[in-house]
Amino acid sequence: MSRNRLLPAWGTGPKREHCKPGRRVVYYVSSGYGNPEFGCLTVKGLGGFCQSEPTISMNRADPCPLVAWAEGRRPSRTCGVGILYKPERDWPEPHLTVWGVIRMAKLNARDRLLRALHHQRPDYVPCCFMSFTALRRRCQENLYELVKAERAMGLDSFLFIPTLPRPQRPEHPELRGLPVRFHPAVGMKEWREYVPGQPAILHKEYSTPAGKLETSVRVSDDWPHGDHIPFVDDYQVPRALKPLFTGEAGELEALRFLLTPPHPDDVVQYKAEAERAHVFAREQGVLLAGGWGVGVDMADWFCGFENLMLLEHDRPALVEELLELIHVWNQQRMAVVLSGKVDLFIYRAWYEGCDFLTPRFYHEVILPRLKSDAALAHEHGALFGYICSSGIMPLVDDYLEAGIDVLIGIDPIQGTHTDLGSFKKKTSGRICLWGGVSGAVTVEMGEAEDVRAAVRKAIETLGPEGFILSPVDNITVDAPRTWRNLEVFIDEWQRRRVLR
């Protein structure tokens, strides 16, 4: 049989009547590995039918629901492709060629997520929590155990490396990834100042060969770090009396000694963990992700949100110089993580939306560096994921230009002016969307029917291709209502997830 006879006539849409039982068909089945199997069989019966046009080549599988199964034998490879029909008049007997699925094997979590990320049809819409702090804490911060627990719940999970837990990141609890270390010439000093009738003040001083950097915070009742001020952290921003970076002369040069490349010992340790993680991911059938990349979020930790916004307006050249310093440091860390051959590299950008930046500043200053980060991930064979859950609507064109593969954190409630339908329409086929339901409002505080309605809307609006369902951006509250609503969430997903 000539392979050319199976090549698609692009734009030809499939029709159900062309797969009637008893009709002779040509099948093509490929798992994406090795040689495809094809042949001529008689249709015995029909299952679900894919209504989308085929967008595949001979060597790239694109799954769809069960279309037809053969009489007398099964193909050895059962991962399906799209459907195509066209008349064949040079065969011994007239018949219609149907290029489609004979039978489709159940995908594992990794394959299902990869198909969603590549805008291909999975067997059903995947559900993978972008973050699940409540369960992670129950697993004692062990990400390997977290994966097992999520899989036991029926979720599509991923393993994130490096797995360094929050308690072992005292200088950067909010920045997952490789350890942050300073130049060996840097000295640190911390002390507590007691103020009569007021909360105490913590001070921290970094002494570098280029000068000193200082910061201070007022201690609140919920301050979680004792007498320590982390290098970067969400808690210190609203409590800061003096941020680390104010734009004074010499601060940038001093900051360079705090943003150093990954230490060789950390690189060796990471590569050893990456080997173990690959073995675990294969055994569990889960996606392997790495990160985090960072940009503006780091600058916000250094400066504070209001101060950075003022500097963007008054001294944009200084802010660009600060962001370039962070960008170079970030890419040094990215290169190490990407050397571990992860499937997906994740960049955190919670504060990189238009709640804190103007579209013009984003386009002129952020976009060129983001394109470089996405390109670096792609050079290493990884997809590029970008976490931003608010202020995203004005930036869609920039996201498309940047080469982002998946936007993580689509929040219909807490995301500023996030319109699910409009966003899907603009990104369809180009950027995978991950999220769809508010974790804090709907899952942690809502009623069961609120949860069901939100899950239905997310799947109907953002699915079926190019979508991964998740609460956004986290489940943190470990309370009976949360777990009851999670059961409802998963139940509704399982009812609605099959593609029709």
What is the distance between the alpha carbons of residues 82 and 28, in angstroms, rounded to a whole number?
Answer: 9
DSSP per residue, 465-497: TTEEEEEES-----SHHHHHHHHHHHHHHHHH-
Q: Is-contact 451 484, C-beta < 8 A?
A: no
Q: Residue 122: which residues within 8 A CB-CB, separation 6 or more?
A: 63, 107, 111, 112, 115, 116, 499
Q: Is the dihedral of CA 241, 245, 249, 250 positive or negative?
A: positive
Which neighbouring-strand residues pair with 158?
Answer: 287
Q: In which residue are the tokens 């920039």 written?
A: 398
Reduced to 3 states, what is the DSSP secondary structure of residue 412?
A: coil
Residue 135: the pLDDT is 97
What is the distance between the alpha carbons of residues 410 and 387, in angstroms, rounded to a whole number?
Answer: 9
Q: Is-contact 301 321, C-beta < 8 A?
A: no
Q: Where are the domains of the chain?
A: 3-105, 111-179+262-496, 187-254
Residue 122: the pLDDT is 87
Q: Is-contact 451 485, C-beta < 8 A?
A: yes
Residue 461: the pLDDT is 96
Measured over all CA atoms, what is the biggest interatomic distance in the chain, rounded to whole angstroms? 98
The single-letter code of the amino acid at 217 is V
> 14: closest CA among 81, 104, 108?
81
Q: Which helix (H) or strand (E) holds 342?
A: none
What is the distance between the alpha carbons of residues 390 and 194, in angstroms, rounded to a whole number?
Answer: 38
Which neighbouring-strand residues pair with 206?
Answer: 188, 213
Answer whether the bond into residue 464 is a cis peptide, omega within 30°: yes
Residue 188 has φ and ψ, to the nearest 5°, of -130, 145
- For domain 111-179+262-496, the CATH class is alpha beta
Q: For the purposes of burial, counting CB atoms within 10 Å of the CB of 192, is it exposed (0-12), middle (13-18) or buried (19 or more)?
A: exposed
Q: Say how many C-beta atoms besides its own lie within 10 A of residue 207's C-beta.
A: 16
Q: In which residue are the tokens 């399906």 written?
A: 80
Residue 315 has φ and ψ, to the nearest 5°, of -140, 65
| 215, two tokens | 């910061």
What is the distance between the alpha carbons of residues 100 and 85, in angstroms, rounded to a whole number?
Answer: 9
Q: How many angstroms separate the Cα of 7 from the Cα of each of 27, 70, 293?
A: 12, 21, 41
| 426, two tokens | 């603009």
Residue 417: the pLDDT is 85
Q: In which residue are the tokens 């609890």 written?
A: 173
Alpha helices in 418-479 (DSSP H): 420-427, 444-445, 448-462
Q: What is the mean pLDDT of each run of 10 residues along the chain (500 residues)?
A: 30 42 47 40 41 28 32 33 36 36 66 95 94 96 97 97 94 96 98 95 98 97 96 96 96 98 97 98 97 98 96 96 98 98 98 95 97 98 97 96 98 92 94 97 97 97 95 96 98 88
Q: How many angstroms separate the Cα of 222 from the Cα of each of 197, 199, 356?
A: 18, 12, 25
> 155: closest CA among 491, 483, 496, 423?
491
Q: Is-contact 305 236, C-beta < 8 A?
A: no
Q: How far is C-alpha 458 from the chain's CA centre?
A: 17
Residue 73: the pLDDT is 33
Q: Which helix (H) or strand (E) holds 335?
A: helix 316-338
Reduced to 3 states, what is the DSSP secondary structure of residue 96?
A: strand
| 268, two tokens | 């060796």
What is the distance between the alpha carbons of residues 165 and 36, in angstroms, rounded to a whole number?
Answer: 44
The single-letter code of the amino acid at 279 is V
Residue 104: the pLDDT is 44
